[in-house]
Structure 1
Amino acid sequence: MADATPSLALPLIAGGQAQKHATHNEALALLDALVQLTVLDKDRAAPPASPADGDRYLIAAGNPDGAWTGWSGRIARFQDGAWLSLKPQAGWTAYVADEAEPYFFTGSAWTPLRATLTALQNLSRLGIGTGADAENPFAAKLNKALWTALTTAEGGSGDLRYTLNKQASGNVLSLLLQSGFSARAEIGLTGDDELRVKVSPNGGDWFEALRIDRTTGRVAFSGRITSADVPVLTGQVIAGNSGPGAVAAGATRYFTHALVGGHQSEVYAAAGRRGRFRHLRVVTQGAPGAGESWTFTLQNLVTDTALTCTISGAGSNQAADLVNSAVFDADQRWCLKMVSSSGARPTTNILFSLLFEGLD
């Protein structure tokens, strides 16, 4: 019969043994040392000066001194005025009190238990540095985070792709950016499958900054326009020259860039998208003359809009309307109408500019 148990080396009472209580008490003392194993520290290289009876230490130092000499990797327990060495076996765990950290013995070294975890499956909540709850089952409170690809040398592909998925087109899949827990920006698929970027001044009012069509890749800027399908980040300035065709005294003519005609249908241009015209500016080659005038008005098809300005007298050759505006739908057409007073000088090459801002 063996003298001790195979796992914890507890002494066994032999048949006919005298003073059986001594062997029994020794086994109980070992159980007291090993069961629910909690050590005070693992970083000491020598015994403390005044240990209390029952104190336990994990000797992680490679070359411990004093009464612990040669005990590297072992558990030391102070008992009855002396240190007792307990040799661990692979799989033992010990709670290190000063670190509030459980450690695991691999068979050759003690390592933090969490470092040995290779899989966590079907967790309902996970909090890192903070508490997770039902609304946020994964929560992290930290200052930096790193995601790096598994290299080919480690058995990976070297790539890193972060995949997010929503149930259906009508659901939301987005990155919500907050300041002081109040939303300020959102990027993602919000309510459909078009990529959108939105901003908010207060977390309640939202303004869409851009939208990317998933079928064409075209970028639409809300409140902005495109020119030849190229997004323009600011309002588009439409500038032109009426060309060499003269506008005679007392005449009414219509023009866009390089086109002058006697009727709107000869010159007008499509707005192309819903938007607002404003900031009408006109510069002519000379002045209309004393008591005379040239009046310029933006027209929507054949109807005057509120956007208009007039050059008058002998000393001016330019005018502007920076106050009024006119909204056009995408299929509506525009041109400038010029009305020359009866005695005004003929003029050519009228320079003009308009600011157009998209509204969809």
Structure 2
Amino acid sequence: MTFDSASARFSLPFLYAGQSQKEVFVNEALARCDMLLHPAIEGETDLPPPSPSEGECWLVGMEASGAWNGQAGTLATFQGGNWIFVKPRDGMRVFDLSTRQEQLFWGSWRKASLPMEPLGGSTVDVQARAVIGQLVAALQALGIFPSA
């Protein structure tokens, strides 16, 4: 059995027998795992924050520049004083702390938008509006719809 130098899904580095400085590769793999297990992003931006905290994770915007140039649409985590980038895969989900909402990657990042509330109508519509309002509130609480 032979292996590539990194895993297929998230480029986690593999170790080889007799490899020197294994701790570098293990630490990089652990940093990526830390980023990818239950990922939560601070938000989406085109520029890296000026003073990031260790472990901070961001979704790199489509107009990425500076230290993030060429990394549009990736996840960026600050680990060990450096930015680590991971290209998303279809089906990946992140929780956006700035909007308190989940995002899904399927060719591009997607998130649900808040539906318009129904307007007008008669008495029956009052009850329907109340139920729709409760459904929207429940979906907001679950992070599916953005908070109002």
Instruction: Report TM bin, short chain.
Output: 0.7 to 0.9
Percent identical across equivalent pairs?
31
Indicate the structure with greater helix content: 2
1:145 aligned residue? 118
2:146 aligned residue? none
Q: Which has the higher contact order (CA 8 A, sep 6+)?
A: 2
1:98 aligned residue? 98
SS where residue 8 of structure 1 aligns?
coil
1:75 aligned residue? 75
**AA paired with 1:80?**
G
Whole-Å Cα distance in 1 between the matches of residues 63 and 77 of structure 2?
A: 18
2:10 aligned residue? 8
Q: Specify every segment of 5 or more residues in structure 1 that has no aligned partner in the other structure, as ranges.
A: 116-127, 129-141, 147-173, 179-360
Indicate the structure with greater strand content: 1
RMSD, aligned α-carbons: 2.5
Whole-Å Cα distance in 1 between the matches of residues 106 and 125 of structure 2?
A: 43
SS where residue 25 of structure 1 aligns?
helix
SS where residue 104 of structure 2 aligns?
strand
Whole-Å Cα distance in 1 between the matches of residues 116 and 73 of structure 2?
A: 35
Q: Deviations over 1:263-302 (max 9, x none)?
A: xxxxxxxxxxxxxxxxxxxxxxxxxxxxxxxxxxxxxxxx
**AA paired with 1:175?**
V
**AA paired with 1:78?**
F
Q: What TM-score, normalized to structure 1?
A: 0.31
Q: Deviations over 1:44-96 (max 9, x none)?
A: 2211111111111001x322121111111011111222222211111111110
Whole-Å Cα distance in 2 between the matches of residues 82 and 62 of structure 1?
A: 21
Whole-Å Cα distance in 2 between the matches of residues 75 and 47 of structure 1?
A: 11
Q: CA deviation at 1:143?
A: 8.5
User: Structure 1 residues 175 and 13, CA, compared in 2 at 3 Å: closer, same or farther?
Assistant: same
Q: Deviations over 1:315-347 (max 9, x none)?
A: xxxxxxxxxxxxxxxxxxxxxxxxxxxxxxxxx
2:89 aligned residue? 89
Q: Specify every segment of 5 or more residues in structure 2 that has no aligned partner in the other structure, as ranges.
A: 128-148
SS where residue 124 of structure 2 aligns?
strand
